[in-house]
């Protein structure tokens, strides 16, 4: 590829750094620093979450925005990559302060044309969720009264504000589909000393937030994996016979900690648990969790990168050398942005996906069923009929499309890995994404 083209793909197209005043609960004024980085305009809108954390920096925001570009390209979501960061600690501020910050941040983005259905579409990320997305949509709607597809300005919204069913669990469910796709291939499992399939595999999960919780839940309840360890900020718990993910979640909600979960070993230093022997380690919290310092001691055979950037550069070199298989973040956690894309489409169309097809499908299936009954002379039992003929719900359509998208993307990356004899899945993922972004720049992005 042309060197200049590569440089254009590498660099971040626009970054907006802002500092704005927000009224604190005691009436004083606090200056909040925030960012939005649009990494690549080769496709519009740009897309990516907003992170609330006291540790966000402009460099981190830009790096995460670039990851969004590659992620979208890999799973065929026709957007450029973006990311936002707001330097507040969501755990210590009041809900009122959070709301004021979110609305002011949105107003700043509007002022500089950094948000809009065709421009840049935020979503949840670390420290934000449906509630914040609702505030963003509401602020945007009130300041931009003239557009019919207003709600497409942000995704991950509550259902009551034109969100989409399935978005909440999408990233974690996508992680499960990705691990499942990876573990189906005997040629890749055999060198690790593993049989194919997720069932019965021992899994340690770091992070019980939205991504970690749903990834663990689906691995356990759909995949029949054994969740042996769960790590959170306050420490970790371990039980070789398996932990009940939902029960651990409820225990944490009730007690404010996962520690002392009945029947499990509690470990005060969670990072210690990351090193325990297991089949799959799922880091689903923050970046740089596995580094040159601890990579040599990681006891997992597969690392499933549910978080963005959980393995750093040095850590990766050590893990590769040790033969650990890494399923890269840019593929594995792309389920979130995939379903965000569906939400955006729904908001643009102004109609939900099931509305136009559900009844029609039911009628076709009913006719088919009756034809089979007439031909065979057998009546399908009445209690089985509704399930056989009912049309799909919107959630079923979303989940099926997510599954297809994750499986197809894995097959593409895997094929490239093997065909071009590349060192690993990450290199294959980067190559595929880079080729797609560069190709689209060549065709559309450069003005004469
Ligand atoms: N923040 C999520 C990510 O890192 C979701 C982004 C989106 O849905 O736009 O992929």
Average pLDDT over every residue of 71-91: 97
pLDDT at 25: 97
Q: Please, what is the average pLDDT of the chain?
A: 96
Average pLDDT over every residue of 189-202: 98
The answer to whether the CB of 47 is under 6 A from ligand 1 is yes
Distance 302 CA to ligand 1 centre (A): 23
Report all structural domains of the chain as residue ranges with CATH numbers, in order of start: 12-161 (3.40.50.10860), 170-332 (3.40.50.720)
pLDDT at 145: 77
Sheet containing strand 29-38, edge to edge, reads 14-23, 29-38, 80-86, 46-52, 120-124
The answer to whether the CB of 53 is under 6 A from ligand 1 is no
Instruction: Give the ligand 1 atom nearest the CA of 47.
Output: 9
pLDDT at 445: 56
Contacts of 398 (CB under 8 A, 6+ apart): 164, 165, 166, 167, 170, 339, 342, 353
Contact (Cβ atoms closer than 8 angstroms) between residue 39 and residue 59: no
Distance 205 CA to ligand 1 centre (A): 20
With bands split at pLDDT 50, 70 and 90, how would you rate the model's confidence at 148? confident
With bands split at pLDDT 50, 70 and 90, how would you rate the model's confidence at 446? low
The answer to whether the CB of 84 is under 6 A from ligand 1 is no
Mutate to test the pocket of ligand 1, among 40, 47, 48, 122 (most ligand atoms within 8 A of CB): 48
Q: Is 90 exceeded by the pLDDT of residue 444?
A: no
Q: Is 60 exceeded by the pLDDT of residue 66?
A: yes
The answer to whether the CB of 333 is under 6 A from ligand 1 is yes
The answer to whether the CB of 48 is under 6 A from ligand 1 is yes
The answer to whether the CB of 80 is under 6 A from ligand 1 is no
Residue 6, SS3? Answer: helix
Instruction: Give the ligand 1 atom nearest the CA of 48.
Output: 9
Q: Is 80 exceeded by the pLDDT of residue 448?
A: no
Average pLDDT over every residue of 271-286: 96
Of 416, 410, 19, the closest CA to residue 178 belongs to 410
Distance 234 CA to ligand 1 centre (A): 26
Of 114, 113, 117, the closest CA to residue 82 belongs to 114
pLDDT at 367: 96
Distance 123 CA to ligand 1 centre (A): 6
Q: Is 70 exceeded by the pLDDT of residue 234?
A: yes
Distance 378 CA to ligand 1 centre (A): 50
The answer to whether the CB of 340 is under 6 A from ligand 1 is yes
Question: Which residue, by CA, sits nearest to atom 8 of ligand 1?
Answer: 337
CA 232 to chain centre: 19
Distance 49 CA to ligand 1 centre (A): 5
With bands split at pLDDT 50, 70 and 90, how would you rate the model's confidence at 147? confident
Distance 212 CA to ligand 1 centre (A): 14
Question: Which residue, by CA, sits nearest to atom 9 of ligand 1?
Answer: 48
Confidence (pTM)? 0.96
Average pLDDT over every residue of 59-79: 97
Segment (H or E) for 302 = strand 300-304
Distance 336 CA to ligand 1 centre (A): 5
Mutate to test the pocket of ligand 1, among 45, 49, 60 (most ligand atoms within 8 A of CB): 49
Question: Which of the pair, 439 or 75, is modelled with greater confidence?
Answer: 75
Q: Answer left, alpha or beta for residue 372, where phi above 0 means left and psi between -120 and 50 means alpha.
A: alpha
Catalytic residue chosen out of the listed positions 83, 157, 301, 346? 83
The answer to whether the CB of 337 is under 6 A from ligand 1 is yes
**Whole-angstrom distance, CA of residue 430 vs CA of residue 120:** 23
Mutate to test the pocket of ligand 1, among 46, 123, 287, 406 (most ligand atoms within 8 A of CB): 123
Q: Is 201 a catalytic residue?
A: no
The answer to whether the CB of 49 is under 6 A from ligand 1 is yes
* φ and ψ of 33, to 5 deg: -100, 140
The answer to whether the CB of 336 is under 6 A from ligand 1 is yes
- Lowest mean pLDDT segment, chosen from 140-154, 224-238, 353-367, 421-435: 140-154
Portion of the chain with pLDDT greater than 70, in percent: 99
Question: Which residue, by CA, sits nearest to atom 7 of ligand 1?
Answer: 337
Average pLDDT over every residue of 242-267: 97
Instruction: Give the ligand 1 atom nearest the CA of 121.
Output: 9
Q: Where are the alpha helices (DSSP H) in 322-393?
A: 329-332, 335-349, 358-376, 385-389
Distance 274 CA to ligand 1 centre (A): 25
The answer to whether the CB of 287 is under 6 A from ligand 1 is no
Q: Answer left, alpha or beta for residue 331, where phi above 0 means left and psi between -120 and 50 means alpha.
A: alpha
Average pLDDT over every residue of 234-257: 97
The answer to whether the CB of 335 is under 6 A from ligand 1 is no
Contacts of 348 (CB under 8 A, 6+ apart): 117, 149, 152
With bands split at pLDDT 50, 70 and 90, how would you rate the model's confidence at 441? confident
């Amino acid at each position: 590829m042309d060197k200049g083209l590569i440089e254009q793909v590498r660099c971040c197209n626009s970054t907006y750094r802002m500092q704005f005043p927000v009224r604190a609960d005691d009436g004083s004024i606090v200056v909040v620093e925030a960012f939005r980085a649009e990494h690549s305009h080769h496709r519009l809108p740009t897309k990516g979450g907003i992170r609330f954390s006291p540790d966000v920096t402009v460099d981190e925001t830009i790096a995460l925005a670039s990851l969004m570009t590659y992620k979208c390209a890999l799973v065929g979501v026709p957007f450029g990559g973006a990311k936002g960061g707001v330097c507040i600690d969501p755990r210590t501020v009041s809900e009122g302060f959070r709301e004021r910050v979110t609305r002011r941040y949105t107003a700043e983005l509007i002022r500089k044309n950094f948000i809009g259905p065709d421009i840049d579409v935020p979503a949840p990320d670390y420290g934000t969720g449906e509630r914040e997305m609702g505030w963003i949509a509401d602020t945007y709607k009130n300041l931009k009264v003239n557009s019919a597809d207003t709600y497409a300005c942000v995704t991950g919204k509550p259902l009551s504000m034109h969100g989409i069913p399935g978005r909440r669990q999408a990233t974690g469910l996508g992680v499960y589909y990705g691990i499942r796709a990876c573990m189906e291939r005997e040629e890749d499992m055999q060198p690790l000393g593993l049989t194919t399939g997720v069932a019965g595999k021992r899994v340690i999960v770091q992070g019980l937030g939205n991504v970690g919780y749903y990834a663990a839940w689906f691995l356990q309840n759909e995949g029949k994996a054994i969740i042996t360890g769960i790590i959170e900020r306050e420490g970790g718990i371990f039980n070789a016979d398996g932990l009940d993910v939902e029960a651990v979640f409820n225990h944490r909600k009730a007690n404010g900690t996962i520690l002392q979960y009945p029947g499990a070993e509690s470990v005060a230093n969670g990072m210690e648990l990351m090193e325990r022997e297991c089949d799959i380690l799922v880091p689903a919290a923050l970046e740089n969790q596995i580094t040159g310092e601890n990579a040599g001691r990681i006891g997992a055979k597969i690392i499933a990168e549910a978080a963005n950037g959980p393995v750093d550069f040095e850590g990766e070199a050590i893990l590769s050398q040790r033969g650990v298989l890494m399923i890269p973040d840019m593929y594995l956690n792309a389920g979130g942005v995939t379903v965000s894309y569906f939400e955006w489409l729904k908001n643009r169309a102004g109609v939900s996906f099931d509305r136009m097809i559900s009844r029609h499908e039911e009628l076709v299936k009913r006719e088919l069923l009756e034809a089979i009954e007439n031909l065979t002379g057998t009546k399908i039992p009445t209690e089985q009929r509704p399930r056989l003929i009912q049309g799909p719900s919107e959630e079923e359509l979303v989940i099926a499309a997510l599954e297809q998208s994750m499986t197809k993307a894995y097959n593409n990356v895997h094929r490239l890995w093997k065909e071009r004899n590349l060192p690993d899945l990450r290199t294959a993922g980067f190559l595929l994404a880079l080729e797609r972004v560069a190709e689209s720049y060549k065709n559309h992005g450069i003005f004469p």
